[in-house]
Amino acid sequence: MAKKAYERPLIKKLETGMPSKFGLRNDLVPVTHIDEVAVSELVEKYGSPLFVLSEETIVNTIEKARRAFTTRYPRVQFAWSYKTNYLDAICRIFHLEGAWAEVVSGFEYEKALRNGVDGKKIIFNGPEKSRPGLLKAIHNDSLIHIDHLDELYELVELASETNLKPRVAIRINMDTGIYPQWDRFGFNLETGQAWDAINKIMHSGKLELTGLHCHIGTFILSPGAYGVAATKLAQFAIDIRNKFNHTIKYLDLGGGFASKNTLKGSYLPGPDINPGFDDYAEAITTSLHNSGFQTNELPLLILETGRALIDEAGYLITTVLGNKRLASGGRSTIIDAGVNLLFTAFWYDHKTVPAQPFSLYREETVLCGPLCMNIDVVRDNISLPLLKKNDRLVIHNVGAYNMTQWMQFITMRPAVVMISADGIVHQIRKKEDIDTILQSEIIPQYLLSKS
């Protein structure tokens, strides 16, 4: 018989799901499968840690979002925010579901083209637009959302050089009651910068002003802020029509809807309190209907929703490397996925559930990642059953931003798989290995010869 592992005895109060003023909450059941595929099988085949995406959840979520808006407003278009998750397989699902592409760099622009997106359906946002990048966007007749005056002047110059009339919008920042105000992108409404940009565009005669854009922030918990933004954009469009007799074709309300994650410090779980698509849609569309547009001139409503469409579809499977007692007597469990893969752990208390059956007893645990860095903490205080080395955990709601902001730091980035709607597992990104890193490095000749 194998010798049992020894753990130093320690007297510690154990919790079995104590009732709070909201009643007895014991929603912890093991997550042994994702979309009916066994977690153990996934790890056996693709290793740990492992990102898993569910196509079914993506499609259901976008369907919910679409329904919330199209039942309230006649003309709606979603544009997939590439930076939220630009794995090609994921982008293609969104494009198949009818989404345009929303990109914020030349690199993302190129990715959208290679994913087969028609240039006319690419929205080019952000401050990072190079001259060659702008030229390409002009030739492809993409929608260029101007961020600052230097970009505006460059576009006027390129329009003259190419004899083409680029389709442009301006990004507008404004006071919607959300503070700190994001005023570093685009032109401010209240100070007159936005009017200044519009006057320059219209008087140049070189640019085709097609839309107005704003993106007021991210994980905005107040739908009312979108109501304010929509009212202000609509009024601005009407003022432009009155001054220049020019119709604004679309209003783009950007992204920023909250997903179902729980923000750190929140008393109640995100799924219980965060607004849903219906709440945001109600606020935005009510404002548009109540503005001064005639029924036949309602502008197209564009939404660049990112995290709220993909967060719930993403899981991170991780394996327990070991347990230890901290000097405080508290329990620390070390797992093989850290903040290098889970950037969002700095903001969210990600729902984290064991992947195998467990006993009723729980203990407050610090969940640490594998990095030799003190900040590598995935959950600083989570009530978990006692886990053993090689047990697995499934971290939930990780689909947004982690697979774009992850770092190759100390360890390699893991594989990503997607379970398609028909239940088949597809690998959509290979696990990195040392060659992935070394292929980009160059050792000067003199250092080679001396080794």
Ligand X SMILES: *Cc1c(COP(=O)(O)O)cnc(C)c1O
- Does 414 bind ligand X (CB under 6 A)? Our answer is no
Q: How far is the CB of 311 from ligand X (least distance, A)?
A: 9
Q: How far is the CB of 258 from ligand X (least distance, A)?
A: 9
- Does 255 bind ligand X (CB under 6 A)? Our answer is yes
Burial class of residue 306 in the structure, from the number of CB atoms within 10 Å of its CB (0-12 exposed, 13-18 middle, 19+ buried): buried
- Does 314 bind ligand X (CB under 6 A)? Our answer is no
- Does 351 bind ligand X (CB under 6 A)? Our answer is no
- Does 222 bind ligand X (CB under 6 A)? Our answer is no
- Does 260 bind ligand X (CB under 6 A)? Our answer is no
Instruction: Give, for 157, the enclosing helix (H) or strand (E).
Output: helix 149-162
- Sequential DSSP letters for 299-360: PEEEE---HHHHGGGEEEEEEEEEEEE-TTS-EEEEES--TTT-GGGGTB---EEESS---S
Q: How far is the CB of 248 from ligand X (least distance, A)?
A: 18
Query: In the stretch 116-155, what mask flags binding to ligand X with x, by CB under 6 A?
Result: ---------x------------------------------
If the CB atoms of residues 317 and 345 are measured against ligand X, the closer one turns out to be 345
**How many residues in total does the chain contain?**
451
Contact 216, 226 (CB under 8 A): yes
Q: How far is the CB of 320 from ligand X (least distance, A)?
A: 31
Rounded-to-integer distance, Cα 127 and Cα 147, Å: 6
State the DSSP code for 249: -
If the CB atoms of residues 385 and 399 are measured against ligand X, the closer one turns out to be 399
Which of the stretches 21-29, 54-62, 252-260, 412-420 binds ligand X when contact is defined by CB under 6 A?
A: 252-260
Q: Which amino acid is at 176?
A: T
- Does 84 bind ligand X (CB under 6 A)? Our answer is yes
Burial class of residue 56 in the structure, from the number of CB atoms within 10 Å of its CB (0-12 exposed, 13-18 middle, 19+ buried): middle
Which of the stretches 86-94, 174-182, 280-288, 306-314 binds ligand X when contact is defined by CB under 6 A?
A: 306-314
- Does 270 bind ligand X (CB under 6 A)? Our answer is no
- Does 223 bind ligand X (CB under 6 A)? Our answer is no
Closest CA to 68 of 59, 79, 58, 76: 76
Rounded-to-integer distance, Cα 166 and Cα 168, Å: 6
Among 129, 215, 392, 413, binds ligand X (CB under 6 A): 215
Contact 400, 314 (CB under 8 A): yes
- Does 397 bind ligand X (CB under 6 A)? Our answer is no
Among 83, 362, 396, 413, binds ligand X (CB under 6 A): 83
- Does 232 bind ligand X (CB under 6 A)? Our answer is no
Site for ligand X in 90-119 (CB under 6 A): 102, 104
For residue 20 the two structure tokens come to 């709070």
Interaction site with ligand X (CB under 6 A): 81, 83-84, 102, 104, 125, 215, 218, 254-257, 304-308, 400
